Amino acid sequence: MTTSRQNADAAELERFNALASRWWDPAGEMRLLHEMNPVRLGFIAARAPLAGARCLDVGCGAGLLSEALARSGADVTGIDMATELLEVARLHQLESQPGSIRYQQATAEELAASQPGSYDIVTCLEVIEHVPDPASTVAACARLVRPGGAVFFSTINRNMKAFSVAILGAEYLLGLLPHGTHEYARFVRPSELDGWARRAGLELQDIAGIEHSGPGHFRIGTNVQVNYITHFRKAGA
């Protein structure tokens, strides 16, 4: 496995930093994240009480999910390695006043070294397909959550349908995402994610598809061939 500082891709950070000023534009390049955010939050809230929960948002970007979690009553820490995204997240927090959020530049591995077992809920959404060593990120998330706590991952399956939809369709045909947002070889099959999680002491509780249900709309469903979200529980009391 890579060390904490190494488990970040400089090219990916540069790409996302370039989008920082437009991250909160619901009609911009992050439009799909804006559209998916309500169903992602709903999936999490249905499986882990958010009010008063200590929540860590790994790879928080400019704070879309972090703010939604805070509005639901969670005490949120958001971490990312993209400095310009974190600046936008802090500015947007000042404007929107969503609740309790602290933003920090760090990898999950770094935080796990100093704060093991500190969180009731850890979210890591649309992140593991962008890091050099996804198994290391999964293991760090497992170390960060308390025994009995919940960990949520979402990512993209690796198969030809996902390639057609997420890369050919979303990036090149429809222009919903900037070219180069995703690399097919980094997509993650559910069996791979489950294997990394089990080795880290996490038990799969639920898996669901994030399905496109019409222009501007997503829903939670049973089809995990493209985007999917998972709920894991850390073994213990």
Q: Residue 199: which CATH number? A: 3.40.50.150
Q: What pLDDT band is residue 168 in, cutting at 50, 70 and 90? A: confident
Give yes or no for residue 194 having a pLDDT over 80.
yes
Q: Which two tokens stand for residue 93?
A: 């927090």
| Count of domains for the chain | 1
Nearest Cα residue to 165 out of 230, 225, 228: 225
Q: Span 187-203, mean pLDDT?
A: 97
The closest alpha carbon to 59, from 194, 155, 174, 146, belongs to 155
Residue 18 counted as domain residue = yes
Containing domain of residue 39, as a range? 10-234
pLDDT band at 1 (very low <50, low <70, confident <90, very high): very low
d(CA 136, CA 71): 30
Kindly state the average pLDDT of the residues 148-175. Answer: 82
Q: What one-letter code names the amino acid at 105?
A: Q
Q: Which two tokens stand for residue 81?
A: 């390695």
Residue 122 lies in a domain: yes
Looking at every residue in the chain, the average pLDDT score rounds to 92
Kindly indicate the confidence band of residue 234, based on its pLDDT and cuts at 50, 70 and 90.
very high
Residue 52 maps to a domain: yes
Q: Is residue 102 part of a domain?
A: yes
Residue 46 belongs to a domain: yes
- pLDDT bucket at 3, cuts 50 / 70 / 90: very low
Q: Is the pLDDT of residue 91 over 50?
A: yes
The pLDDT value recorded for residue 163 is 79
Q: How far apart are CA 75 and CA 121, in angstroms?
A: 10
pTM: predicted TM-score of the whole model, two decimal places: 0.93
Query: Is residue 1 in a domain?
Result: no
Residue-level pLDDT at 212:
86
- Confirm whether 135 is domain-assigned: yes
* Helix residue spans in the chain (DSSP H): 10-17, 31-45, 64-71, 83-96, 108-114, 134-144, 160-162, 190-199
180 vs 230, higher pLDDT: 230
In the predicted structure, residue 49 carries a pLDDT above the cut 80? yes
Expressed in angstroms, the distance from the first to the final Cα of the chain is 28
pLDDT at 222 over 80: yes
- Compute the distance between CA of residue 88 and CA of residue 96 in angstroms, rounded to an integer: 12
* Domain assignment of residue 5, yes or no: no
Residue that has been written with the tokens 């949120």 in this structure: 76
